[in-house]
Structure 1
C-alpha cells in the first residue's frame, strides 16, 4: 500500500509547496543465468524518504513558495483527506482484482523460468511466487504416455532418415538446422555451438591399397579414421577378434607378431581396442573385416575410427572453439600403426592364401568358402598403404532447454548423436527422433500444468562416429562448470538395436532410479513391465555390461564426473549392433531385428529416458542413490584386502603393506552416505534452500571420484572406477594379482591415491567441515 500513500503525500506536497522536486532511480539487474537483463524502475517514494532539492542533486537552487491566507487551510486539509481516501479505495479494489486473476491461472501456464520474476513495467511492484507443483507422479507419467505415440515416431523416423550425413557435411548441417527450428517452434530458447576439429578422411586422389605378395587384394572405400599413414610390408597373422587373450594365445604358440600385419575380424570389442591391442604386441599394421556370412554381402564396406579416446585427438583436454590455438599436441590414444578395413571378399582372398599352423576352434569364422582357418606363415606377406588426410572441419552441436522453476541452473542433459558415416539408422536416426519427440512431449506437458523444479537440456551432437567428438569438445569447453550444474546425462545413442534383451550401462548412482523406471514402464507388447519382461525380475541382468569407451555416455561419466546412463533394446547374441559402420545400418535391417515393431520399441525407449529425466527434475531431492557407491567401494576394498593378505603370507612384498587406511576411507564414505539419508529424513524438504544444499552434496559424489592427482589433459578419463590408467581401482587390483617387487613404490602410490580419493569424496559428502569423520 506504500504506492498510493506516497502518491497522496505527493499531492499534498504539491498543494502546499507547488510542484515537488523528485527523481527516478533505474536499477539494472543482470540475470546471472543468462536470461535477458531487465530494468527495474523505482520512484523516490518507494521505501525511502523524499529528498529535498539539495539532496536530490539540485545544488544552489532555492525552493520558494507564496504562503496562502490562513482561512484556506481547513479547506485544503479536507481536499487532501478526500484524495487520500480515494487512492486507498482504488488500491484495495485493484489489489483484490489482481489476486483473483492470478488465482485462476495454471501453474507454469505462462512459461515462467524462475522462482520469482519482476512484473512488467506498469504493473504493481512485487514478486510473483511460483506455486508448488500440483501434479503428482502418476499424473506426470500418464501425461507422458499419452503424448508419446507410435504414429508420431513413424512420422519422425521417415522425416530424419538420410542416406549419408557424415560429420560436417551439408546433410549433417541440414539436420542441425532442422533440429534447431524444431526447438524454436517449441519455444525452447535454442542455441548452438560450433567447433573446428581435425577429422581424418580418405585422400580424394590417392586410394588406400592392400596387396598379398604382388597380387592386388583391393582398394577399399571404407576406412578407419585416425590411423597412422604410410606403407607397411609384413607377414600376415590371423588374430581372431584382436582381444588380449587372442594375442596372448598367438604368443604362447610361438607366433611372432613383431612387425606383422594382424588380420582381425570385427566384433566383441571396439575397432580402437583391436588396434591398440595389436600395437602392444608389436604389430605394424591391422586389417579388420566384417564377418557375418548370412547378413553381409562380400562387398560391404566397413567404416570407423581407431582413436583410443574421445574428442578431437589433436586438442587433448582442450575445447576446439573457433580455431583456438594450442601448442602442438596429440592424444596418447592415437595409434602409431596403420589400420585399415577391408571387405569380406578381400579377407577371403587373404585367408585362402595363408598357411602355417591351423587356427584353434575358437578362431574359426564364418566366411563362405573357408572350411579351416590358418594362423599364417613367414612367407605370407601383405603390403598395406594408408593415405588418409586430416581436414579442419566445422561441426555444430544444437541445444534446447526446458527451464525449471525452482533451480533452473541445475539440469539433466538428454543427448543423441546426429551424424553417421553411412545411413546410420540405428546409430543416429533413431536416437535423434527420440530426442525431438521427448522435447515435444515434455514441452507440451509444461503447457498442460507440469512444473519442473529443475531444467532439462536437449543436445544433438555431431562427429559422434569419430569418437564422441562433438560431445567431448562441449564438455572440455565447459569443464569448470558442468559438473556443478549438470547432475545427470542420458544417452539415446543406439537405444533400439533389437528386441530380445534390455541392457543398460550406468553410474551406480542411477541404479535405483533405473530399476524403479523399468518397474513402471510397460514393454512394447503392453503385457508386463520392462523389468518383468526383460530382466525376469532379476535387475542384475540389466547391468551385466560395464560402460565402454565408445559409449555416448562415457565421456560424461569418466571425463566430467556426471552421473550418466545409456541403455538399449538389443539382440540376444550381442549388445553391439552387427551393422554399425556399414550401409546395412538401415530401416529394413532394424525392422527385422525388432520383429517389425520398431516404432513400439521407440515408444518404450522414450518412456525410459523420459521418466528418468522427469523424476530427476520433479522431486525435491535428486533421485541419485549415494548408498550404491557404498556397496561398490566395499566390494572392491574387500578384494584388495584379500590380495594384500595373500601377498603378505607369501612374502611377495619388499616391505609390509596394510589395508587399514583404505578400509577406514571406505567406512568414512559409508557413514557419510548414511548421514545424508538421515539428514534427508529429518529435513523440511519444502524448504528450497535446504533441498538445494542436500542436492549439491549428492551432485558432487561422482565428480569427487575423478582422481585429483592426475591431469585431465594427460589422463582424460580420471574416474577411479570407470576410467583408464594406473590410478584406477582395477589397475590396483591387477597389480596386486601380478606384483613385481621392482614396482613396490608404484603399488604404494596406487594405494595412497585410491585411499585419499575415496576419503575426499566421503568428506565432501558429509557436508560441513565439523561433520567430517576425523579417524584418518
Structure 2
C-alpha cells in the first residue's frame, strides 16, 4: 500500500510546486487583525523536520512561501476546491486499490526457507492469477534442511516396492518396464526427459545348447549361470586350483612347479573382478577358467548360479572407442579386453565335487577356502582331467538410457551427473534396484526444492543406465557418443550403484579432486544422519581409511578413466562383504538382514551423501573440486619413480643416464598452478560471473588433462595416467623401471625413455592449462 500513497503524495506535491521530491504542508490561520483567513503553504525537502511554533516572519525563508495578505476570494475558492478534489481522488484511489487487490494464485511452498506466501482471511485463493514473487535467497543451511526434510524412509520403502522385479536383464521386457517408470517420474517432475537408444551386442547362452563342465566323463551338474563375453568352444585339460586368481596366486603356482599352459584353472570369487581373474589366467597361457562363489554365510544356498562378464573393459566390446547409435555401420572390430580363453561359472556344490576329486600336492594355507566337506585343499594332480564347453552366442540388443535434467540458472551448460544402472542378470536388489530408487527420489526432492525457491547455478542430470551388468555398457556408450564435449560440460559423476550393502561401515572410491568435498559432506551429516557415527574422523588417517582405489567394475570408473570426469562411488556396508551380487540371492530378504531391517533409513543416509554433494557442486560460485589434491598424489608417484631411477643408476644396467629432473619440474609446475588458482579465488570478486566461469573452466579441465594425449581412446580406452590401464600410466612406468633394473625379459630402455617423456609432458600440459592463459605461463621446462 505504501507504493500508491507515495505516488499520490508525489502528484500532489508536483501540482503545487512542480517538485516531486518535496511534500506540501497546509496551515489555515486566522489573521490577527481580523482580516480574511489565508492559506500558508510551506514546502519542505524530504526528511526535514517540522519546526514547532513557526509563525509569519519566524520560519525559514528558504522553505516558506506566504500568500499575499489580502488574497482575492476567487483564488481562495480555487485552492479549497483543488484541495477537496485531490483529497477525494486520493481516497478513491486507495479504496480501489484495497478492494480490488488480488491474492496470489498459489504458494511456492507451504513450509521451508525461502517460501513466499500470502494468507487470505478466509483461507482461500482466487484462481487464474499468478503472483510473481521476488527470487528468494537461500543459504547453504536452508538447502541442506530442505533436502533432509524431503528424504523420507517411507518414500524409499514405497519406491523399492515399485521398482523391485525378479527379471530385468538388459534389453528385456522387464528392463523396458522399469525404463518407462523412470521416464514417467521424470515427466511428472517437469525434468524435460529424453532417451538414448543404443544397439549393442550382448552375449548369452542359447537355451537349447547349454554350457557344460565334465570331470573325466562325469558331468558336474547343469548350470544356468554364465560369464558373458567368454570365448566359445571346448577345452580339455588338467585342472589346477589357483585360489583367487590374482597375479601373486598364479606366480606362486609357477614357483611351485605347476605350469598353467593349456590347463583349466579353478578359482573362487573375491579380491579382484571376474574379468581380471580371466585376464590373469590368459597371461599364464591357461585354456579355460572355472569360477565359483563360496558361501559367505551359513544361509547361502550352495546350488545358486553365478552370473557376470569377463570383458576386461567397459562398454560394448564390439564397438571399442565409438558409440553404438541407431544401427550405425561399423567396421569389424573388437576390444583388446575380450578374453581368448573359455570362462564359465559353477555353483558352490559343483566346486565341492571338483575339490573332492582333485589330487596333487596340498594347497598353501592362504589358498584354503570355506567350502564345507573338504578336509584338504589340493592344487591338482596329473589325472585330474576336465572338459569345459562354452556355447554363448552374441545377441543384437536394443537398450535405453533414460535422462532427466534440472537446469541451472547461471551456467546451465555445466552439469553434475548422477546415475544408476537399472538392469540385472537376476533380481539385483542391492546392485540396481536400490540405486534406481535413490535416483528417482533424489530427482523428486531436488525438483521440489527448485519449486520452493532453490536456484542452482549449474544443472543436474539424472541418468538411468541399461546393460550395467555387462560392464557399464549403457553408460560407456553414452560417454563414447559425446566424447568431444562431455569433458567441457560434465564436471562430476556420482554413481548410485550398490550404495547399500550393510549399515556398519562407510567406504568410497573417488577422484582426488572430490576427497575434500566428500569429507566436508560427511562432517556436515554426522550430526543429522542416523548413521553419522560412521563419519567420525578424529584424524586425517581416519578419513583416508574410508577411501578405496576405484576398480574397473565400478560404475564410476569409465567416467574417470575413459572420459576424465571427476567421479565418485560409495557404499554403506559391513565387516563381512555382501556376497550375493550376480546371484538370485541378491534380494530384499538378504539386504534386510545385512542392514538390520533398517533398509529405508540406510537409503535416506545414502541419499543425503549423494544429494548434498550434488547440491554443493551446483550451489557454490566456485566448483568444489580441490585441484591441490593432485599435487600430493602425483608427487607420491614421482618420489617412487625417482627412487627406482636411483636404483637403476646404481645397478648400472643402462648405457646412458636417466634423470628425473624434468619430471620433478613438471610436478613443481602443477603445484604452483594449483596454488595460484587458490590464491586467485581468494582474491576475486565471486559475484563476477564471468570471472567465476573462467576459473571453473580451468578447474574442470584438470581431470581430463590427466588423460594421456599420446594414446588412442579406441586402442587404449582408459587413458588416465593415474587410474587407467596400459603402458602410459605412472604405475607402468614404475614397474618398467623395476623390470629394467632386474633385466626382466621384455624390458626396453628406449621404451622406458618414451614412457618417461610422455608422462612428463602429460603432467606439464595439465599444469599449463590450469595456470591459465598462455601469456601467463612462466615455465622453464
TM normalised by structure 2 equals: 0.82
1:509-548 superposed matches below 5 A: 509-522=513-526, 526=530, 528=532, 530-532=534-536, 538-543=542-547, 545-548=548-551
Q: Secondary structure at the match of 2:382?
A: coil
Change (3 A) 1:684 1:533: closer
Once the two structures are superposed, the pairs formed by residues 639-650 of structure 1 within 5 Å of their partners are 639-650=640-651
Q: Which residue of 1 aligns with 2:509?
A: 505
1:743 match:
748
Q: Deviations over 1:419-448 (max 9, x none)?
A: 000100000000000000000000011111
Residue of 769, 776, 781 corresponding to 1:764:
769
What is the rounded CA distance, in whole Å, between the counterparts of 2:288 and 2:299 in structure 1?
27
2: CA distance, partners of 1:108 / 1:559: 41
Provide the residue aligned with 1:581 in structure 2. Answer: 582
Checking the alignment, whether the CA contact within 8 Å between 1:417 and 1:464 is kept in structure 2 is yes
Alignment correspondent of 1:440: 444
Superposition map of 1:364-443 within 5 A: 364-443=368-447
Larger Rg: 2
1:291 maps onto 2:294 in alignment: yes
Aligned counterpart in structure 1 of residue 177 of structure 2, from 169, 174, 178: 174
Q: Deviations over 1:141-177 (max 9, x none)?
A: 0000000011111111111111110000000000000
Superposition pairs for residues 80-95 of structure 1, below 5 Å? Answer: none
Cα pair distance change 1:767/1:755, threshold 3 Å: same
Shift of 1:131: 7.8
Q: Distance in 1 between matches of 2:484 and 2:236?
A: 47
CA distance in 1 between counterparts of 2:460 and 2:625 reads 16
Q: Matched residues in 1 for 2:301 and 2:432: separation?
A: 23
Give, in whole Å, the separation in 2 of the partners of 1:527 and 1:418. Answer: 26
Q: CA deviation at 1:267?
A: 1.2
State the 1:296 CA deviation.
Answer: 2.2
| Structure 2 SS opposite 1:476 | helix
User: Structure 2 regions of 5+ residues with no counterpart?
Assistant: 1-96, 117-131
- 1:206 corresponding residue in structure 2: 209
Structure 1 residues 198, 131: CA separation in 2 closer, same or farther (over 3 Å shift)?
Answer: farther
- 1:5 maps to what in 2? none
Q: Secondary structure at the match of 1:712?
A: coil
Q: 1:592 to 1:764 in 2, by over 3 A?
A: same
The residue number in structure 2 matching 1:752 is 757
Give the structure 1 partner of residue 658 of structure 2: 657
Counterpart position of 2:34: none
Equivalent in the alignment of 1:690: 691
Q: Which residue of 1 aligns with 2:732?
A: 731
In structure 2, the residue matched to 1:482 is 486
Q: How far off is 1:525 after superposition?
A: 6.8
Count of matched residue positions in the alignment of Structure 1 and Structure 2: 660
1:703 and 2:707 are equivalent in the alignment: no
In structure 2, what is the Cα distance between the partners aligned to 1:438 and 1:766? Answer: 36
Residue aligned with 1:390, SS? strand
1:773 pairs with 2:778 = yes
Check whether the contact 1:210–1:384 (CA below 8 A) recurs between aligned residues: yes
SS in 2 for 1:753: helix
| 1:523 and 1:530 in contact (8 A); partners too | no
Structure 1: how far apart are the matches of 2:531 and 2:251?
Answer: 47
Q: Distance in 1 between matches of 2:712 and 2:386?
A: 40
Note if contact 1:109-1:447 (Cα within 8 Å) is conserved in structure 2: no
Work out the CA distance in 2 between the residues paired with 1:130 and 1:685.
26
For 1:527 and 1:281, the matched residues in 2 are separated by 45
In 2, are the aligned partners of 1:307 and 1:467 still within 8 Å (CA)? yes
SS at match of 2:203: strand
Tell me whether 1:319 sits opposite 2:323 in the alignment. yes
CA displacement 1:529-585 (0-9 Å, x = unmatched) = 542189998111111x100000000000000000000000112234xx310000000
Residues 589-616 of structure 1 deviation map (CA, whole Å, 9 limit, x = unaligned): 1111111111111000000000000000
Moved more, 340-349 or 516-525: 516-525
Matched, 1:262 2:265: yes
Instruction: Tell me the CA shift for residue 521 of structure 1.
Output: 1.2
Q: Distance in 2 between matches of 1:108 and 1:318?
A: 46
Map of 1:307 onto structure 2: 311
TM-score, structure 1 as length reference:
0.82
Q: Distance in 1 between matches of 2:135 and 2:774?
A: 33
Residues 1:286 and 1:527: Cα distance change in structure 2 (over 3 Å): closer
In the alignment, is residue 161 of structure 1 matched against residue 184 of structure 2? no
Residue 553 of structure 1, aligned match among 543, 552, 556: 556
Residues 1:457 and 2:461 aligned together: yes
Q: Kindly indicate whether the alpha-carbon contact (under 8 Å) linking 1:108 and 1:451 is maintained by their aligned counterparts in 2.
A: no
Indicate the residue corresponding to 1:18 in structure 2: none
Report the CA distance shift for 1:229/1:249 in structure 2 as closer, same or farther (over 3 A). same
Tell me the residue number matched to 1:235. Answer: 238
For the 8 Å contact 1:518–1:529, the answer to whether it is kept is no
Secondary structure in structure 2 of the residue aligned to 1:206: coil
Q: Which residue of 2 aligns with 1:469?
A: 473
Does the 8 Å contact 1:236/1:261 carry over to 2? yes
Query: How far apart, in 1, do the equivalents of 2:201 and 2:685 lie?
Result: 52
Show the 5 A alignment for 1:59-74: none
Asked if 1 retains the 8 angstrom alpha-carbon contact of 2:503 and 2:595, the reply is: yes
Structure 1 residues 80-135: Cα deviation after superposition (integer angstroms, max 9, x where no partner): xxxxxxxxxxxxxx9xx99x999x9999999xxxxxxxxxxxxxxxxxx9987611
* Aligned position for 1:82: none
The question of whether the paired residues in 1 share the 8 Å contact of 2:427 and 2:586 is answered with yes
Distance 2:457 2:310 in 1: 42
3-state SS of 1:408 partner = strand
Shift of 1:491: 0.1
Partner SS for 1:232: strand
CA-to-partner distance for each residue in 1:387-440, whole Å, 9 max, x for gaps?
A: 000000000000000000000110000000000001000000000000000000
Q: Of residues 488, 493, 497 in structure 1, which corresponds to 2:497?
A: 493
Deviation at 1:323, TM superposition (A): 1.0
Secondary structure in 2 matching 1:738 = helix
- Distance apart, 1:646 and its partner CA: 1.9
Distance 1:727 1:586, change over 3 A: same
Counterparts in 2 of 1:554 and 1:131: CA distance versus 1, 3 Å: farther
Flag the 1:527–1:463 CA change in 2: closer, same or farther, 3 A.
closer
